[in-house]
Structure 1
Amino acid sequence: MDTDVVRAVNELTVRWARSLPDGNTVVSGLGLWPLLAILATAADEPGRAELAEAAKVAAADGSAQALALIDAIEGSEDLHAALGVWVSEQLKLAESFDSVMPAPLVGKLTGNSAADKPKLDAWAAQHTNDLIRELPIEVTPDLMLVLASALSLRTTWVIPFKELVRRFHDGPWAGGSWHWLERVDGELDAVRRYDDLTVITVTGDADVDVLLGIGEPQASQADVLAALLGAQGEGVPGSRLIDQGQPGTEVAPGVKVGQTTAPRPDLKLSLPSFSVETEHDLMESRELFGLSAVTTDPGAHGHFSSISPAPLAVGQAKQKVLARFFATGFEAAAVTAMGLMRTSMPTQQARRLEVTLDRPFGFVAVLRESRLPIVAGWVATPTEPGD
């Protein structure tokens, strides 16, 4: 997989994560990036340069790189991706359309919501294994083109968790009873400290891992997520952390040295199960995504002359995304859509590390080999009360 593209997707995800309001949330920079790259190739100036800068691509190469990324993802066992384009029956296409819009032409738009919306929604459901059943786009008579991406991820933990109910009497989650997950294994180096950040790798059984990140209690959501996405190098592995203090000592954020009756040191991981689902209106942060120019009134000539001689502007841009972390695995899905509109617009035998995520923490799912981030999010409060 192209390392420059991986870096570009990661940078987009970091910028987006830093802009998010506090609270439970999840985003997919991977779902958005191909659309920005394709639009960069298709747009006229000044939108072309703005989109290329947001996607960190050469504008002329954006469409090809987007398609190559989707093809590369399809080589994954756990992660699947699709691109789709729907064009209005009323839109005259430019001769250059096929070269700037490489995504498969899925179908036509009639402008009739009762006819078009079910087709769009069925595509979203098909390409997310029914995790997301609606394409986040409003069908109107002025909707001339829809460009969409879909991602779906399902992985099973190599070592499953035990399920229990836990109640807190102090801390930010005090007074609640939560559905909780715990497991013990011997892989101490699944935990690593990067300065004021602890990263825990939960390994899937194929080619996707989920990284959990917790910072110091006073650390902001934005800083923890950015640090988690940017964590590089070896850090301080758990096999060294375990010797840095006596039982009861905190040796990294969220990590204490504990005790076990097992014959060898081990790692206990404890956290709430979570399910986070969010819809983002990208038009509310259009400067962040390079959409400022192409969302303005284009006048008589439009912003996308290589798509159509008709004056077009981006009038809708949304993403629906979800992530679920549970006892046996992790699943996530994202559907991102852009709408181009026609304008007018006990006894000690060995030590253990005890990792407890009992306060807000971040997460990111990555392809193991390339470290391509798939979804990243934040758990401010547990989402599933205990019975």
Structure 2
Amino acid sequence: MTLALQDALSPADVAAANALTRRWFAARDEIPSAASGLGIWPLLAMLSTGAVGETRDELLAALGVDADRAAALPRALFDGAPADRSSSALNVALGIWAGPGVVLDPDWAAGLPSGSIGSLTGDNAADKAALDRWASDRTDGLIDAMPIDLDAPVPIELVLASALLVRTEWRTAFEETTFTPFERGPWKDLAQPRILRATYHEDVLRISDDATVLTVRGGDDVDVLLGLGRDDLAPHAVVDALIDAVDPAWGRSAAGLAPGERAIGVHAYEYMGSAPQTGPEIGVTTAAFDVSDDLDLIRDAPALGLVRASDRYGAQFDRLTARKLYVSQARQSCTARFGATGFEAAAVTAIGMALFGSAPPMTQYPHVRTDVVFDRPFAYLAVHRPTGLVLVAGWIAAPALAA
């Protein structure tokens, strides 16, 4: 039986998933251009169900739910957002592939969605091709490869993956132009930015002292929120405010501004029209974007509850398999496109597990930080309207340009 996502997940589940997204973004030096905490969430739940001791405790703390609920989450999410792309604006697929030497615990495997378990043959080229096909098929080609390296020095014995696909068309389409540049600001000298304009006659713009949030309503159960912060507000603070704004009670309506009043990026003015005004009139100018990111989640281990899980000496997954496994790789590929007629995004998240003692110690990667100056960036997130579940989020530094 297919359930609506709002029936499959409780408000507490949604709050826990959104808290993971907030904590993950806050822990990163830079905000990704596209990322999905929801893509990580069910994989952490599967790991926690197979873990014991301190490894399990850390994973459950990151998940924000108890052990019983963690065991039920993968199936609940799969039931509420099925992989059948014809049925919903939000689709989730889960996959597990075990190598020849790994026998999964039957109780652990029984809690997974039907048809989600496959095999690794040991032929890395063939296995990678099969994993890439799975990623591409589950995201309609938006993500064409599984973000995992089967040729790494530490052999992968088990892969856990999720695929997320979000698509919606706007209720009110934008008009797109590349002939008129932005009038002011850091993007005014860009050649042919894809500028989007629309007029809304509904209350879709909220303001606070720190940020302005526009809700772009999709025709399905998905909305996209755009957030613009004060000039002096750090990117992390803008994203944090945008996650707060998932709550409809956040801020106040911009429709209450009097002529001449201003807010962040907003001004109210008076003009003469040919008919009486019967409701809000919101004029919007924004930018199209087409962004992608590839993220190494091991670098975010403290925020994601993976510190002990990725410790080759200390990881405890005794309820997953009899072999001594630890998380040797965790990566996510995510893409998001915001255009005149709608929004689409996809994320594939993969966790690779290796055998303790089967290979040399993991390579340590230096953390390279690149400082980028954002003049007037904005944050975005896609949200499941009935539940408030954050699906995909990111930070836009520059508009998409015409080809």
TM-based fold match above 0.5: yes
* Aligned with residue 98 of structure 2, among 72, 87, 99: 87
* Aligned with residue 257 of structure 1, among 243, 258, 268: 268
Tell which deviates more after alignment, 273-282 or 191-200: 191-200
RMSD, aligned α-carbons: 2.1
Please say if residues 135 and 337 of structure 1, whose CA atoms lie closer than 8 Å, have aligned partners that are also in contact. Answer: yes
CA separation in 2, counterparts of 1:179 and 1:261? 30
Q: 1:13 to 1:23 in 2, by over 3 A?
A: closer
Please say if residues 190 and 202 of structure 1, whose CA atoms lie closer than 8 Å, have aligned partners that are also in contact. Answer: yes
Stretches of structure 2 that go unaligned for 5 or more consecutive residues are 1-5, 362-374
CA separation in 1, counterparts of 2:31 and 2:167? 24
1:156 equivalent to 2:173? Answer no
* Aligned with residue 286 of structure 1, among 301, 304, 328: 301
1:230 equivalent to 2:260? Answer no
Partner secondary structure for residue 378 of structure 1: strand
CA separation in 1, counterparts of 2:323 and 2:31? 42
Please say if residues 74 and 112 of structure 2, whose CA atoms lie closer than 8 Å, have aligned partners that are also in contact. Answer: no
Please report how far the alpha carbon of residue 386 of structure 1 lies from its aligned counterpart in structure 2 after TM superposition: 4.2
CA separation in 2, counterparts of 1:260 and 1:17? 42
* Aligned with residue 66 of structure 1, among 74, 78, 85: 74
Q: Which residue of 2 aligns with 1:325?
A: 338
CA separation in 1, counterparts of 2:128 and 2:354? 16
Q: Please tell me the residue identity of whatever aligns with 1:162.
A: E
CA deviation string 1:294-350 (max 9, x = no partner):
111237xx62111211110001100111111000000001111111111225xxxxx
Partner secondary structure for residue 26 of structure 1: coil
Please say if residues 170 and 342 of structure 2, whose CA atoms lie closer than 8 Å, have aligned partners that are also in contact. Answer: yes
Partner secondary structure for residue 157 of structure 2: strand
CA separation in 2, counterparts of 1:312 and 1:73? 30
1:46-65 correspondence to structure 2 within 5 Å: 46-65=54-73
Q: 1:103 to 1:33 in 2, by over 3 A?
A: farther
Count of aligned residue pairs for this structure pair: 366
CA deviation string 1:152-205 (max 9, x = no partner):
011001111111124347523242131110011212x10011332211110111
Please report how far the alpha carbon of residue 23 of structure 1 lies from its aligned counterpart in structure 2 after TM superposition: 6.2
Q: Which residue of 2 aligns with 1:203?
A: 217
Runs of 4+ in 1 over 6 A off after TM superposition: none
CA separation in 2, counterparts of 1:210 and 1:25? 15
* Aligned with residue 47 of structure 2, among 39, 42, 46: 39
Q: Please tell me the residue identity of whatever aligns with 1:57.
A: V
Please say if residues 167 and 175 of structure 1, whose CA atoms lie closer than 8 Å, have aligned partners that are also in contact. Answer: yes
Partner secondary structure for residue 27 of structure 1: coil
1:360 equivalent to 2:377? Answer yes
Q: Please tell me the residue identity of whatever aligns with 1:334.
A: A
CA separation in 2, counterparts of 1:161 and 1:47? 48
Q: 1:20 to 1:173 in 2, by over 3 A?
A: farther
Please say if residues 78 and 113 of structure 2, whose CA atoms lie closer than 8 Å, have aligned partners that are also in contact. Answer: no
Stretches of structure 1 that go unaligned for 5 or more consecutive residues are 346-357
Please say if residues 87 and 108 of structure 1, whose CA atoms lie closer than 8 Å, have aligned partners that are also in contact. Answer: yes
Q: Which residue of 2 aligns with 1:349?
A: none
1:122 equivalent to 2:133? Answer yes
TM-score (norm 2): 0.85
Please report how far the alpha carbon of residue 96 of structure 1 lies from its aligned counterpart in structure 2 after TM superposition: 3.3
CA deviation string 1:51-100 (max 9, x = no partner):
10011111243121232122112397211111111111221333433246
Q: Which residue of 2 aligns with 1:351?
A: none
Please say if residues 24 and 276 of structure 1, whose CA atoms lie closer than 8 Å, have aligned partners that are also in contact. Answer: no
Q: Which residue of 2 aligns with 1:181?
A: 196
CA separation in 2, counterparts of 1:8 and 1:60? 14
- Structure in which a larger fraction of residues adopt strand: 1
CA separation in 1, counterparts of 2:68 and 2:155? 28
CA separation in 1, counterparts of 2:342 and 2:319? 44
CA separation in 1, counterparts of 2:378 and 2:28? 14
CA separation in 1, counterparts of 2:183 and 2:104? 63
CA separation in 2, counterparts of 1:367 and 1:182? 24
Partner secondary structure for residue 340 of structure 1: strand
Q: Which residue of 1 aligns with 2:386?
A: 369
Q: Which residue of 2 aligns with 1:350?
A: none
Please say if residues 64 and 102 of structure 1, whose CA atoms lie closer than 8 Å, have aligned partners that are also in contact. Answer: no
Q: Which residue of 2 aligns with 1:112?
A: 123
Q: Please tell me the residue identity of whatever aligns with 1:198.
A: T
Q: Which residue of 2 aligns with 1:352?
A: none
